[in-house]
Every structure is written in structure tokens, then in C-alpha cells.
Structure 1
Amino acid sequence: MMKRLAAIGSIVGLVIVASGSAAHAAPDGLTLVATKHSLLGTHTWYQQTYNGVPVLGGYYATHTDRAGATAVADGRIAIKGIPARSAAVAQGRAESSVTGRLAGTLLRSRAVIVPGDTAKLGWLVLTDTARGTVESVVDAASGTTLSEKSTVKEVDGSGQVFSPNPVVTLQNESLKDTTAASTFTAAYKTVTLTQLTSGVTTLRGSYASNQSSSGVTSSTRAYTYTRAQAGFEQVMGYYSITSAQEYIQSLGFTDVNNSAQKYKTTGYTDDNSYYDPSTDQITFGTGGVDDAEDAEIIWHEYGHAIQDAQVPGFGSSSQSGAIGEGFGDYWAYTMSSAVSTNTTVTPLVCIGDWDAVSYTSTTPHCLRRIDGTKVYPGDFENEVHADGEMWSRALYDISTSLGRATANTIILEAQFNFTPSTTFAAAANATVTAAQTLYGSTAATAVTAAFHARGFI
């Protein structure tokens, strides 16, 4: 059944006005939304309408100061064409299609005019989902989704972490998992937990989502724990993942794993961690030193999530698998370099020097180093972690030559052009091309030299 626009407009034309003022329609297709009073004047906001239906993004405002002078902010949008006056797709049908697809619950919906080259009549549907409210706009003529976005606002909290780990902070290679708790006091750091989802009390935000059993909650968003408490590793995961994504965003990338990365720090008792692309989740083991107590381990695993987000199914061959492990080690290095000092006790090229105390006897304790001298193909072992040391060394040399920001911009950009089963040579050449395109021949020469030294090109 077709629902007439007149009936729609009579419903959606109702607005709530701030401070209990009566709603009224202003001339020229404007409806009063709110009147606000500041220290210096009065501010009145209107919603643009077309035939009584709100126009998405259209507004008009007046700002009147104490002397009576008025400034106007005119955000009205030209309506091109003639939007349909009736909906071929009923409101209920639009609602059910959106809520079913998002596996959520309907909050409310209304008719809207969608501006564009040809304006359209649409349904704006707000859905409550597991990740907050989603705003969808459905074409009232065809039922297709015209736009969709999260309306969730982000808030900050606080937490206690190691940054990046106690071995580095205390410059103490003798630390063990069983070392007295008081020894670690000076290693803790209070940090701001950014991007937390408003309205929830868990460690869930724009870039990280805690999936641990008995996930910690805080009504004040203060998450302060010690390593003896399960909440500590959960905070470490949230903070380390979020800081990594924020750094990526600072380089200008808005679509490199730009989502809430799921992670879990409980339930897996092995001294190991892994990223599972089938569930898009990182799981941190609790054997030996809990892996999530070492931010360098977190950043390594996040490296796998980054590449999988850029190239679905990445790492399906021995060489691409090695590239994945090498990038993960390099990513741990580059993130750690921003919060650590390079010393002879804990050199930056030593990755995972806290986690590694449980399974290494020599110092410095390292999961792996990224300054090795292996060269392809003579040192190729067909084992991704060992072979990844060649790739991480090349990336390390690029960073040393070009600087952290330039190198990482090149490296991340190049990875968009990798294939799931890429070879060392193909990936190296893609990185050279990215360097040339972004920064010119000097950068490309430095990248070429780094890969040539490892035998890749």
C-alpha cells in the first residue's frame, strides 16, 4: 500500500523545541528547532523542510547579540528535481529491512528529503545495535540504502598500563613473571583511554572491543588494575590497539582496519597469541608472562589484523606469510619507538623483551630482532617467523633512511597493492612504486636499496 506524503508530513513535521518553547513554522520552509541563550546573545536554529518534510543536512540559524545585531548562518540546500510525494516502500518495510540486516532494534524512523543531483524521498531509520546506534537512509522509491553511519559519540576514560613493558621502563632484564609485585610499581603508567563508546561501561570503542570473559566495567570509565588482576591485560589491549589505529589515522589513512578490533585476553593458557581472520579477533595467551602485558606483542598481532583488513586472506603462501610476520615485528618496533628509548640494555630492535623472559636465557630477552643480516634466497628456511626477519630488516632500514612517518606511510600504502599470496619481489616492487609516487625518486632509491640488501630485488 502506498502511503501519501501528506500523511507522512503531518507526523514528521512535529519537532521538540528547547526550554519548553512552542513549536512553530517559520517562513520559507523552515521549522523552529531550538532557541538557546548564551552569555552574549540568543541563538535560534531552524530545520529546513520541503513540503513539510525535513531536508537532510539543511539548516538555518540566527545569532543575535545583546545590541540587537543579527548574524545569519544559512545552511539551506537547493532541492534539485521534484522528490516523490508518496512512498512506494512503506515505512514498516524500510524499518524491518534495516533492523534485520543490522541485527538490531528499531529506535525510531521518519520521512526525509535526501538532497543530491536529483532529490529523493527517503526513510531515515535509527537502529540500536551491539555497537551503538546506526542511522540508515532508505530510498522510499526503491528500498535501497542510500547512506549509513554510526551516531555513537566517543568519550575518554583512564587506565593503568605498561608502556611498552616493564623491562623497557625499568631497564631491568632480570624481571620474571614471578618477581615481587612491588618491583613493578614504578613501571605502571596512567593513560587516557580514548574513543570509548558513550553510554557503555565496558572497554568498547571505535578501534578496539574487549571480548574477554568477565570483561571489566567502570561507571566512571576509570580502569586501574595491576598485573595481578585480569583487568590489567584487558586495558593493555584496548590502549595499545587504539593508540596504533590513532597513529595510522594521523598518517592520513582512514581505511586501514578502521573498525573496532576484537581482542581477548582470557581463556587461552598457552604462551602464544594469534590473530584469527575468520573471526577478526586477536587472542592473547596467558602462559608464562601474559602476552597482553607486553604492548609489543599486542602491536605485532595487530599488524596481522592491519594486513588482513587491507588484503583479505593475506598470508596464503610461504613468502606472504613471512612478510606478515616481518611486518608484525616491524609494527611492534615502530610503535614502541614512539614511547621507548633506545638503550644497550633494551635496544629498540629487540621485540617482546618482557614476554620473552619466559622462554629465553640470554639478554637482552627478545622474541625476535629486526636488525638481522639474513639475505634471500640463501637464508630462506620456509618458516614464516624465521624468514620474516629478512622482511622486518628491510622495513627497519627504510625507516632508518626516511624517518618513521614517511616510511610508515609508504609501507602502509604499498600493502593495499599486495595480493594474498604475494612474493617478496612483488611486494618489494610495490613498495618502491609507492615510495616513488608519494615522495619521489630519493625515497624510491632508499626503499630499493633496503630491499636489494636483503636480496628481494
Structure 2
Amino acid sequence: MEKNIISILCAVILHFGLLAQFTNSTFKITESELNQVPDTSPIFPYAYQDGVSYRLSYERFSLTGHHEFYQQYINHAAVLGSGLKVHYRHNGEMILQTDNCVAPVFKTGGKAKVNSTLIWVNSDEGLILTELSESQSEDLTENDELYTDENGELIFERSMNSFFHGPDSMARLHVFFPDPITSSQSNYGGALVDNNDQNNPSLQNEIFVKSIETKFENDTFWLENDYIKMVQLGSTVEPSVHSRNGTFFYNRSEKGFEDVNVYFHITRLRAHMDTIGHSKLCDRQIWSDAHGLAGNDNSLYASNTNPPRILFGTGGVDDAEDVTVVVHEYGHALTDYAAPKSNIGIERSSLDEGLCDYVAVSYKTEISTYNWQNVFPWDGHNEFYNGRFANSNRVYVKDEFLEKYTRGEIVSSALMEIYFDIGKNLTDQLVFESFYFLDNGMTLPQYGNILLTVEEELYNGMYKEEVCNALKSHGLVNSCYVGLAELETKVDDFKVINSEGFSNNSGALTFNSNSKIEVVKMYDANGKNVGTYSGIDGPIEIHPQHFNLGFYVLEVFTAKATYRTKVLKRF
């Protein structure tokens, strides 16, 4: 519950150019020196004003390059939610920088002692010096940062929870795949109801036997790996269910079932992330309790515990039984790792919910497309909870009053349009990479433009049209420019088929044309012809195994015209 929240003034400034990496941990210059800073350096707002400085807070490395965040300080005290974020390519060139820094205008006294617990909070009347403390209940349902002024008055309260509303060895286990509603292609009702966790033949039919790696230690199989550890949280931390023979065969009336379900699906998601190049994203262990929150019908990710934790409630349908709840909460762990402590701002919070809904629906849809648009199909869309949707037609309107989860549906729906246009792997890779660019105070349209920037960095504009059109249809960008080469591949006479399979090294390129395809020529990035294919003997197929990684230009000669387009071999 948020109380006495002072709005954080956030303005994101995009600055494109070439710059060298800045390595000092603290930055302070005079106004005259600032005017001499070359274009190859970051721009630090208000750095020439007395008392303003910046310190490198964190850095991350991703597919597109290197990301740094500089926390703003005024008179030795950090400013909540304010700083500079700089994104570099691997060769040191800057992709962009964003900032939401504030001027040193004070409501209270402008001097601060050197004390790590003193934080400036920005208000409409100026900066207020506050002291930071934490308030946590044992079960983490209350987990807040409290900012109080010198008189002890609460100025700002920030929840640190992101709510949903030896050798390793293979183990065999029972799980929902992905959930009983989707796998049975049914609706909630009849035998497919929670009924206080009672099992029945219909629900048992939707339990699948799967195998996955676990930790094997002291002749015991534990639900633990580098990314997730299942625990029971109370006055002490205890391990969850474990096995001596490598089998975890529970039904949903037994508590072990939810532990296994969480562990399996997060581990499976991590395997997918590895295959698309995102093994470094959140490469730390998260602790998870599948029966937390004292029976509440909610779940949360707690970012400020050590290690971070995910707790699943058991009210209504147990949240840990719905894979989209499980993956959604882990999505918060991913965004928090990529851009730590950046989830400040009304639209920024909605953005996080929409991104995590996308990660959840993308995961579920790969298993089954039945009612793919339903977020939380087992935990929600019933008498307990309405659930959410990832196929909304809603368009972003600036300053429109919306509940944050409803606003988040704009984001998830746009991303799912991209998913169906260019495929799961490419969209997931794009979205995961965009997490590193998240920042405090970011609006939905600012994220839309960031996503286009990331697409250009990852795919050299190959999927710009598909990405931009989906964003534009939901008001997240104003316009889309499509180059001639891209436009030519969209005419009715000709289309490239399975570019995603070619990119992933899993399938051949084929072509669809209303007129006969006579010849297809393929050129590498240097313009060298690396293949010529004739359509005389039948349909043309171009298999990816014969090509190195990189971009290729296709020149397709039909009876009516010649078309040119690009394809990417990424794996």
C-alpha cells in the first residue's frame, strides 16, 4: 500500500552519438569545463552546479553491449530515482543515454552529512532530505522502504515487492504443462476447479511426467540450481521437498506439487534463455517459497532481500500451479537484475507488469496456443480473479487514468503482435535485451522507441517494420518508416517463409510467389555471391547449415519482377 507518495519528476532525454567509456566512480566538473567536454563523453546534467556529483552504481553486459548507471548525488546524499544511464556498443560507441536527474532546488536545508541512509526525495516544492529505513514482516507481505524527514514525518513509502495480483542429476517429476485449463482446452468450471486443493481424475489427467536436472548432494535430489532454490520460509529457512530416488511424483493435493511446478518451469525458462544468448541475464540464484504469504491470494518478487525471493500465495487457486504466475514473477527478477532499482514511476510500474505478462504468455504459448491471450488462465478468469489479457486493442493515451495492470496490457499486447509476426525466439531475445535499457520514470512511448533502437542493434533493422507497426497500433510510437527493400518483400506476389527457422539454424528458407521463381541468389555482407538456386526443378529451399553467422541479401528473380530482402543467420 502506497501512502503519502511524492511524485518523482522524471524526464528522459535521448542523446545519440559516439563516446568513450567513462570509468571514474565519481564525476564532478565546473561549468567552464563542462562546455569543453567533447561529444565523445556522456552529458551529466547539473554537474557544474555546486554539490552535484555522480557515482557509478552498477554496470551490466548484454548482447548489444555495455550498460552503466550513474547515481546522482547532491551534497553527498543520493537522490531517489535520479541518475544517468549510458548504453555502449561492444566497440565503445554509445547507443544512447537517458537521464531523469534533478536540479539542486531544496524544500528543506540543502546540506547533508555523509551518511548512506540519507536520501533526497524530490517533491513539487523541491528536494526533501530523508532518512531511509526498512519495514519487513516475517512473511514479507509487508516489505517497504520508508523515507522520513528530520521531524520523523513519512515523506515517501516504496514497496520492494513486485506483486502478481556435487554433480547435478536428472529427476522425474509431476507438473502441470502448462496448466489444467490450457492443456485440457477447457474453461474453469465443473471438475476443473480448485476445490481447496483437492485432486480428482480430471485434474490428474492434466498432470504430466517430465524430467529435469536437480542438485544431487548427500545421496539426495534437491530442487536447486544456479538460478532457483525452492525453500520454506518462516522463522528459519528450510529446504523444500526432496527425494532419495530422483522422483517427485506428487498430486495437487500434496504440498510438494507446487514446489516441483515452480522449479520445473523456471528451470525450463532458463534453458530457453541460454539458447537465445541470454544466459547472463539474472545469473544469480533466487529463493522461492511456493506456499508463502500466509495463504493470501497473491504472489510477489522481493528485490531487497539477500538473495532476492519469490513468494507464491495459496489463496483461491494456488498461484504456483499456474505457470503464467510463476514466469511472471520471475520476469520481475529479470528486469530487476538488468536495471536494478529502476522501477519508479507510474508508467514505469505499468511497463514492468506488461513486460512480465509478455514473458509469461510467450512461455505458455510455446507450449499451447489454446486461449493464448489469457494471462493467468488457471489462477484467474474465475470467481477468484478476473485475470488479464495479452490481445487488448487499447491504444496508449498520455495522462489517461488507468489501473497499472490495465495499462500494462497495452505493452504485452503489442509485444505478442511482434511474437506472431517474427516468432518467439527473435521476440524473446529482443524483449530480454530491452530490459537492460529500462530506467526510472520511463513512459510507455519512451520504451517503444527504446525497443526500436534495440531491434536496430540486434537485427540491423531487419524486423523494424514488424516491430514498429505493432508498437504504432497501440500508440507506443507515432510513425514508422519502411525502407524500399523492406517494402518490396511485402507485395502480394512474393514472400519469404521461415526466416526465423533459418535464423535459429532449425529450418530452411522457402518462398511463396504467385509467379514462377526462376532464380534466387544469396550474397554475404561483403557482397560476395555465396549461393545460386534454380527453380527449374521444383521449390527452392535454402538450408542454414551451409552458412556462417551474419546477414545475407537475397535477390529473387520471378517471372514478373526482381525482389531483394535481408535474412539473418544468428545461431
TM-score (norm. length: structure 2):
0.50
Cα shift at 1:421:
2.9
- 1:313 matches 2:333: no
Q: Contact between 2:214 and 2:221, CA under 8 Å: does it hold in 1?
A: no
Count of aligned pairs between the two proteins? 298
Aligned to 1:139: none
Structure-2 change in CA distance of 1:260 and 1:232 (3 Å): same
Deviation at 1:176, TM superposition (A): 1.1
Tell me by how many angstroms 1:188 deviates. 0.6
Question: Does the CA contact (< 8 Å) of 1:245 and 1:258 recur in 2?
Answer: no
Q: Which residue of 2 aligns with 1:417?
A: 437
Decide whether the 8 Å contact of 1:277 with 1:305 is kept in 2: yes
Q: Which moved more, 1:350-359 or 1:394-403?
A: 350-359
Which residue of structure 2 lines up, in the alignment, with residue 372 of structure 1? 392
TM-superposed deviation, 1:425: 2.4
Task: Decide which of 211, 220, 224 is 1:192's aligned counterpart.
Answer: 211
C-alpha distance in 2, partners of 1:446/1:439?
A: 12
Contact 2:270 2:279 in 1 (8 A): no
Give deviations 1:112-166, integer Å, cap 9, x for gaps. Answer: xxxxxxxxxxxxxxxxxxxxxxxxxxxxxxxxxxxxxxxx532221110001111
User: 2-side partners of 1:366 and 1:383: how far apart?
Assistant: 14
Paired-residue identity, %: 26
Aligned residue among 401, 404, 413 for 1:384: 404
- Are 2:323 and 1:295 equivalent residues in the alignment? yes
Shift in alpha-carbon separation, 1:433–1:195, aligned structure 2, 3 A? farther
Contact kept, 8 Å, 1:177 with 1:358, in 2: the verdict is: no
CA–CA distance in 2 between the matches of 1:413 and 1:201? 34
Q: CA deviation at 1:326?
A: 0.5
DSSP 3-state at the match of 1:158: strand
Q: 2:297 aligns with which of 264, 271, 276?
A: 271
1:351–1:366 Cα contact (<8 Å) kept? no
What is residue 239 of structure 1 aligned with on the other side? 264
Displacement after TM superposition at 1:378 (Å)? 5.9
Question: What is aligned with 1:353?
Answer: 377
Q: After superposition, what is the alpha-carbon deviation per residue over 1:168-221, rounded to whole angstroms, capped at 9, x for unaligned?
A: 112231221117522212101011122535445321112210122562121122
Q: CA deviation at 1:456?
A: 1.8
Cα offset for 1:410?
Answer: 1.1
Once the two structures are TM-superposed, the CA of residue 297 in structure 1 deviates from its matched residue by: 0.9
Superposed, 1:173-212 pairs within 5 Å as: 173=187, 174=189, 175-178=192-195, 181-199=200-218, 200-212=220-232
2:180 equivalent among 166, 182, 193: 166
Cα distance in structure 2, aligned partners of 1:414 and 1:172: 35
Q: Provide the residue aligned with 1:84 in structure 2.
A: none
Q: Could you list the runs of 5+ residues in structure 2 that have no partner in the other structure? A: 1-165, 478-571
- Report how far residue 373 of structure 1 moved: 1.0
Work out which of the residue numbers 325, 330, 335 in structure 1 matches 2:363.
335
Letter in structure 2 aligned against 1:156: M
Q: How does 1:246-261 map to 2 (within 5 A)?
A: 246-261=271-286
Contact 1:265 1:285 in 2 (8 A): yes
1:16-55 alignment to 2 at 5 Å?
A: none
Separation of aligned partners in 1, 2:433 and 2:443: 17
Q: Deviations over 1:323-370 (max 9, x none)?
A: 111011111111011211x23xxx10111111115436xxxx861111
Aligned-residue RMSD, C-alpha: 1.9
Identify the residue that residue 281 of structure 1 maps to in structure 2. 309
Q: Which has the larger radius of gyration?
A: 1
Q: How far apart, in 1, do the equivalents of 2:349 and 2:301 lie?
A: 13
Give the corresponding residue for 1:222: 247
Bigger helix fraction = 1
Secondary structure of the corresponding residue to residue 220 of structure 1: coil
Moved over 6 A (4+): none
Contact 1:272 1:285 in 2 (8 A): yes
Q: Deviations over 1:411-442 (max 9, x none)?
A: 11122122133222222112111111221223
Partner of 1:154: 168
Residue 393 of structure 2 aligns to a residue whose secondary structure is: coil
Whichever residue aligns with residue 362 of structure 2, its letter is T
The CA deviation string for residues 365-405 of structure 1, in whole angstroms up to 9 with x for no partner, is: 86111100111116843422111011111111111211111
Structure 1 CA distance for aligned equivalents of residues 417 and 399 of structure 2: 18
* Conserved? CA contact 2:345–2:442, under 8 Å: yes
Cα distance in 1 for partners of 2:283, 2:183 equals 30
Q: CA deviation at 1:233?
A: 0.3
Residues in 1 aligned to 2:267 and 2:440: alpha-carbon distance in whole angstroms: 26
How high is the TM-score relative to the length of structure 1? 0.62
Contact 2:169 2:221 (8 Å CA) reproduced: no
